[in-house]
Amino acid sequence: MYVCLCQAITDARVRQLGQAGVTEPAALIETLGLDDERCCGYCRLHIERLVAVAKGGDPLIYARSPLNPEPAVDESTR
């Protein structure tokens, strides 16, 4: 399944990265390009869930979140 539609990222791709040792939040953000302005911000805000998928967790944990968060606001640009 697609865990992220903004960047068309599948759970398989995240797991593959995890198996290759990419499980740190910063490394996942960097590798998957989640620091992009096209992103809705969900992945960054809930990066621990993406880490769980990278470590072989159920991708539905990622999808099952009750609500989208408010868009992440960059304090420095306020």
Partner 1 sequence: MQAKPGVIDRLNAILTVELTAINQYFVQAEICRNWGFERLYHRFHESSLAEMQDSQQLIAHILHLEGIPNMQRLNRVMVGESVAECLQLDLELERGAVETLREAITHCRSVEDYTTRRMFEEMIASEETHVDWLESQLETIRQVGIENYLAQQIHKD
- Considering only residues 15-54, where is the footprint of partner 1 by CB under 8 A? 42
- Rounded to a whole number of angstroms, the minimum distance from the CB of residue 67 to partner 1 is 6
Nearer to partner 1, 4 or 54 (CB): 4
Nearer to partner 1, 24 or 69 (CB): 69
Nearer to partner 1, 24 or 54 (CB): 54
DSSP string, the chain: -EEETTTTEEHHHHHHHHHTT--SHHHHHHHHTTTSTTS-SHHHHTHHHHHHHHTT--HHHHHT-SSPPPPP--GGG-
Token couple for 62: 């990622």
Positions touching partner 1 (CB under 8 A) are 1-2, 5, 10, 12, 42, 60, 62-68
